[in-house]
Structure 1
Amino acid sequence: MHAAAFAWAGLRGEYRAQRVEPAALPAQIAALRRPGVLGANLSLPHKEAALPLLDALSDAARRIGAVNTVIHRGGQLSGDNTDAPGLLRALEDAGVGAQEGAVVVLGAGGAARAAVYAALTGLGREVYVVNRTPQRAQALAAAWVRPQGAALVRAVDVEGVPWEQVGLVINASSAGLGAPEESPLPDFDFGRLPAGAGVYDMVYQPHETRLLRDVRSAGRRGENGLGMLAHQARLAFAAWTGLEVPPQVFLGALHEKLDLKRTAP
């Protein structure tokens, strides 16, 4: 995606993927201060661990508690989170999430934190967090408590969700990633959701997950994570270069890489 963006913008630039062991993260972050480096993206498991290694954080990164984009300026490193606005734009493009009602977030890691932030600040919805490790869900929910004590986010198990009041389900877990038959809700009847409810699966590989198949079999709207991936990349590229590249450039590169039929964003 970023190679396509550099080409579209007429810039000479290089974007490389690099596997970094947790113990090596501080040294790799420090290396971003070198001249000529614009910044980096971070993926699991580094989105939360990088926070204390940076000089400044955006309000979104601070409130989410996770960084996916590092920007280098004059030896200083700032952290931002483009996952949340990328998710909101993807939901808008796909027409998923327009239904009124609560949001259910599956997972409790960095991606789930971004999803909760997007649901609260962008959609203004009540949020239920469901995670296979209840303690992690509870810790995430506890970070979003109003000063007066009224909970913004609730950690519950699957049966603790009032499904008939849910307008959007977001899979922010790794369930299904590279595993077409794995689902974060393997035995769930998606017919329990209101007719207009939708499901957004952040997983984009495979393109069609078991979660999405089950959702669509129940007559509900489902969308995979390609749009979010493209939009978070577009926002990161803009942070590094100051240039706004059309989302179609990123989506086109993704469709070409994954050999998918192109569709308008």
Structure 2
Amino acid sequence: MHGAAFQAAGLAGTYEARRVPAADLPAALETLRQPGVLGANLSLPHKETALGLLDDLTPAARAIGAVNTVVHREGQLTGDNTDAPGLWQALSEEGYAWEQGGNVVVLGAGGAARAAVYTALILGEQNVWVVNRTFGRAQAIAQAWANPDAEFQVVAAEAQAVPWPEVSLVINASSAGLNAPTETPLDAAWLAQLPAHALVYDMVYKPLETCLMRDARALGLRAANGLGMLAHQARLAFTAWTSAEVPAQVFLDALVPQPAAPGDQA
């Protein structure tokens, strides 16, 4: 994606994938201070660990408690979180109407789940129910966002305690279903209780159609994968690094190349 973005923006730059063991994260972040390095993206399990290893955090990263983008400026490293606004944009493009209200269910309790909670609670002003296989981790998120004076709330709950008929959006922020076509984070019986207008959004994008999505569509519900979020969070990170604005379609086309038009040469 970022290679295509550099080309579209007319900039000389490269984007490299690096596998960094957890113990090596501090040293890996220090290498970002080198001249000519714009920054980096972080994925699991580094999004939360990096919080205490950077010089500064954006308000979003601090509130979410997770960093997915590191920006280098004159030797200083700032942690940002573009997952939340990327998710917001992707959900809006899928036709989710925040103004209609309704409860949001977030499946998972890691850094991606924190971004999803921030998106729904702070940006969308929705009540959020966090469901996770390890209930204690769901409770930790709910406690982190606890605010008795707020109109909206985060609740940690077992699946059976969620008011499913009042849920308008389900977000899978767990790794369940990743590269596992038959694995799902949520039994179809719970999906069957959702109202007809509900949207099921799976942050997973490998495979492009997950078991969760298939189950939702079989029940007549709308469902989408995480490609939109992936493209938009990348677009926002690229702008943070370079100040260049590149259309999201450039990133999407790099993820899923468009078929050649009739008559095009291979």
The TM-score range, normalised by the shorter chain, is over 0.9
User: What is the root-mean-square deviation in Å for CA atoms of aligned residues?
Assistant: 1.7
Partner of 1:183: 184
Of 78-87 and 179-188, the range deviating more from structure 2: 179-188
Q: CA deviation at 1:147?
A: 4.8
The TM-score, its normalising length taken from structure 2, stands at 0.94
Output the CA distance in 2 between the equivalents of 1:228 and 1:150: 27
SS of the residue corresponding to residue 67 of structure 1 reads coil
Kindly indicate whether the alpha-carbon contact (under 8 Å) linking 2:90 and 2:229 is maintained by their aligned counterparts in 1. Answer: yes
Output the CA distance in 2 between the equivalents of 1:220 and 1:261: 32
Partner of 1:90: 90
SS of the residue corresponding to residue 51 of structure 1 reads helix
Kindly indicate whether the alpha-carbon contact (under 8 Å) linking 2:42 and 2:67 is maintained by their aligned counterparts in 1. Answer: yes
SS of the residue corresponding to residue 169 of structure 2 reads strand
Identical columns (%): 63
Q: How does 1:217-236 map to 2 (within 5 A)?
A: 217-236=218-237
Output the CA distance in 1 between the equivalents of 2:243 and 2:96: 29
Of 98-107 and 70-79, the range deviating more from structure 2: 98-107
Output the CA distance in 1 between the equivalents of 2:150 and 2:140: 15
Output the CA distance in 2 between the equivalents of 1:54 and 1:145: 26
Q: CA deviation at 1:195?
A: 1.0
How many pairs align?
A: 260
Structure 2's unaligned 5+ residue stretches are: 262-266
Partner of 2:213: 212
SS of the residue corresponding to residue 49 of structure 2 reads coil
Q: How does 1:113-128 map to 2 (within 5 A)?
A: 113-128=114-129
Cα deviation code 1:170-227 (max 9, x no counterpart): 0000000010100001343422101101110000010000000000000000000000
Instruction: Extract structure 1 runs of 4+ deviating beyond 2 A.
Output: 96-100, 147-151, 186-189, 259-262
The residue type equivalent to 1:179 in the other structure is: A
The residue type equivalent to 2:198 in the other structure is: A
Output the CA distance in 1 between the equivalents of 2:185 and 2:141: 18
Output the CA distance in 1 between the equivalents of 2:97 and 2:2: 28
SS of the residue corresponding to residue 192 of structure 1 reads coil
Output the CA distance in 1 between the equivalents of 2:133 and 2:151: 25
Output the CA distance in 1 between the equivalents of 2:109 and 2:159: 14
SS of the residue corresponding to residue 43 of structure 2 reads coil
Output the CA distance in 2 between the equivalents of 1:186 and 1:159: 11
The TM-score, its normalising length taken from structure 1, stands at 0.95
Structure 1's unaligned 5+ residue stretches are: none
Partner of 2:72: 72
Of 177-186 and 94-103, the range deviating more from structure 2: 94-103
Q: CA deviation at 1:260?
A: 8.0
Q: CA deviation at 1:15?
A: 0.1
Partner of 2:264: none
Output the CA distance in 2 between the equivalents of 1:26 and 1:248: 34
SS of the residue corresponding to residue 72 of structure 1 reads strand
Q: CA deviation at 1:239?
A: 0.1
SS of the residue corresponding to residue 48 of structure 1 reads helix
SS of the residue corresponding to residue 203 of structure 1 reads coil
Partner of 1:239: 240
